[in-house]
Amino acid sequence: AKMAAAASDLLTGWCLFGLALLAILIFCWVYVRKYQSRRESEVVSTITAIFALAVALITSALLPVDIFLVSYMKNQNGTFKVWADANVSRQIEDTVLYGYYTLYSIILFCVFLWIPFVYFYYEEKEEDDGNTCSQVKTALKYTLGFITICAVLLLIGAFVPLDIPNKKNSTEWEKVKLLFEEFGSSHGLTALSFSISSLTVIGMLAAITYTAYGMSALPLNLIKGTTSASYERLENTEDIEEVEQHLLRIKSKCRDGRPLSSRDRRTLQQLEERLRMLRRRERHLESIEKSWWTKFCEAIRPLKIVWGVFFIIVALLFTVSLFLSNLDKALHSAGFDSGFIILGTNLTNPLNMLLPVLQRV
């Protein structure tokens, strides 16, 4: 009965994971469709963006599932439960491991082949409206550079980090043979891990930069607010009147039959293009001003200020916690060789006190 209940709970967990995948796909579709350009969008590029974003989010979603499955099979003292014998636990771990392999391989395929090819294909299409064959050849030529980078990362990850035993009497061929034997025994895991880790370093630097900026800018923008659509319309109307006056001054030069100079003709074309853009913006701002979303945002303006103050407190919490944690490591850790491991907490920071309270959530 316990095993049946456990199997039922695990099945429920996988069903919830499936619902999470569906929610991720819906979110990616809405997100990409909302922020893409309607005039310049293409079907293939839209599908590529949705699929690549979904794969990245699904890979992130697999991590808590992995933690849940491992912790669910164990008791509070760390021993495995009765139903989680060696065979069952191995099957669950292998399933999650293959999931990691598959998703990481798809990420490498998207980053180094699919996304570059689609990008260069449509860049070539904008520059030269030639035949499709030449566009594909040019896109493949540029994509080849990304494939080379991927191959280099895989080779470095496959061979360089290995701890090769140094035998005095071994020949060069035996050393190379040992490299391939080690690579075969790991099933390419080290190569895949190194490639993904290289991408993760780039993503980590971007996350650090944009998170730091966002945690400062978001609360300030919520408190300060944004420019209203009516005020932007007023500024846009003034710009339209200014451009129209400039156009009239240039056109008045040719009323007596004299032709315009080449410089005036270029200026006239630029002003006409800017006038068309400003009128499109006028129509866009008019629709925004009349939309229900704008009225809703104006109604919840006091709530935005409250949220802004809350996010400032959260940002200060992280700042103080990181400072105290790093100060604790600098004063009481075992040093650089151990990775600044702290044997016991000496300076308690507020975030560490808060997380155990929130862990049930």
Q: Give the pLDDT score at 295.
A: 82
Residue 257: inside a domain: yes
- In this structure, the answer to whether residues 156 and 26 fall within a common structural domain is yes
Residue 175 makes CB contacts below 8 A (sequence gap 6+) with 164
Beta strands in the chain (DSSP E): none
**Confidence band (pLDDT; 50, 70, 90) for 181?**
low
Q: Which residue has the higher pLDDT, 29 or 181?
A: 29
Q: Give the pLDDT score at 210.
A: 93
- In this structure, the answer to whether residues 233 and 131 fall within a common structural domain is no
Range of the domain at 53: 19-162
Q: Give the pLDDT score at 267.
A: 85
- In this structure, the answer to whether residues 347 and 247 fall within a common structural domain is yes
Q: Give the pLDDT score at 51.
A: 94
- In this structure, the answer to whether residues 49 and 158 fall within a common structural domain is yes
Residue 183: inside a domain: no
| Mean residue pLDDT across the chain | 81
pLDDT at 310 over 70: yes
- In this structure, the answer to whether residues 156 and 228 fall within a common structural domain is no
- In this structure, the answer to whether residues 144 and 226 fall within a common structural domain is no
When mean pLDDT is compared across 5-9, 37-41, 322-326, the lowest value belongs to: 5-9
| Domains: count for the chain | 2
Residue 180: inside a domain: no
**Confidence band (pLDDT; 50, 70, 90) for 9?**
low
Q: 66-110: per-residue pLDDT in tens? A: 887 777 777 777 677 766 666 767 777 778 888 888 898 899 999
Burial class, 45, CB count within 10 angstroms (exposed 0-12 / middle 13-18 / buried 19+): middle
Q: Which residue has the higher pLDDT, 321 or 127?
A: 321
pTM: 0.62
pLDDT at 203 over 80: yes
Residue 211: inside a domain: no
**Confidence band (pLDDT; 50, 70, 90) for 217?**
very high
- In this structure, the answer to whether residues 144 and 229 fall within a common structural domain is no
Residue 202: inside a domain: no
Q: 134-163: per-residue pLDDT in tens? A: 888 888 888 999 999 888 888 887 766 555
- In this structure, the answer to whether residues 38 and 128 fall within a common structural domain is yes
Residue 318: inside a domain: yes
- In this structure, the answer to whether residues 269 and 352 fall within a common structural domain is yes
Residue 200: inside a domain: no
Residue 214: inside a domain: no
pLDDT at 122 over 70: yes
**Confidence band (pLDDT; 50, 70, 90) for 174?**
low
- In this structure, the answer to whether residues 333 and 250 fall within a common structural domain is yes
